Structure 1
Amino acid sequence: MNVEIDTIDEAIDKYVLTRKEKGVQKARERFLAYVYMRHGGDDQREFLGKVRGLTRYYIDYLKVMENPFKGPEVAWFASMVTIAVYSIVLMATEGERTLGICLLAGTLANAWFLLSTVAKKWCDIGVMIAIYREIVELTDKEMAS
């Protein structure tokens, strides 16, 4: 990986961590201090442009990943549906009813876990998109001044 990309990622990561822990104002101050100290003069505008570009890339990537049906969750859901159907077939058979009930109970427990995981992932991605948009706004504002 390019050293410059590592520096840009470091600036973005510092903003995100500070934003989550200490709020918007403190994150902006630290980000701008990092940019001014690390990249002064004409290099600063170029660096801010690259930060803005990489942040927009991250936003686009996260928008794709925000859809819960674009990841391993779909395969997990499909396997749970298959097992649930099989457990219902087992419950219809007199000798295998207990096994079918146990399989269905486990499938329902895993379905609840899947739903909570997808909801948490969706919320986390939404927060990250909002924070990345703040970075884009901040870099646009700084480049305009």
Structure 2
Amino acid sequence: MTGSDATGVTDAEREALLDRVNDQSATIGASVPDEVEIDGTAVDLSTFIVECRKVDAIPPAMERKVASTREALRAERERRVERLETDPIDRETAETLAEAVIGIDRALNALSTIRHPSFADEHHADRLDGHERWLAFVDQVR
């Protein structure tokens, strides 16, 4: 598949871009885009993520918004990947789509880690819970 469609992007270039956007390490070093257009509406993504990270605990209303934003981003990612896979596009458009998909993936990663404790914090909390349960058991036995 080394042909070129009518607007210039070759099948090999398209495949390379698709491989890049599907690579797990593609988001390393990538930044969250300031804004993403979803269904014609601009979403101020960078500010939203910063606001979510400011609070100690995400209230249920904000959690719903985070979940719906994730859902919308996943759908937008699928649309852009499908366009990259199938649409007759030029090289510049294909590259722009790939970068946008990587930015969306970075945003999804950022949203999935909001207010989730680190492994070390979880381990420490589990150990404390275990010690507290043990002490409560010892108190009951006495």
State whether TM-score is above 0.5: no
- Normalising TM by the smaller chain, what interval? 0.3 to 0.5
Instruction: Kindly indicate which of the two structures has a greater share of residues assigned to helix.
Output: 1
Instruction: Normalising by structure 1, report the TM-score.
Output: 0.35
Instruction: Kindly indicate which of the two structures has a greater share of residues assigned to strand.
Output: 2
Instruction: Normalising by structure 2, report the TM-score.
Output: 0.36
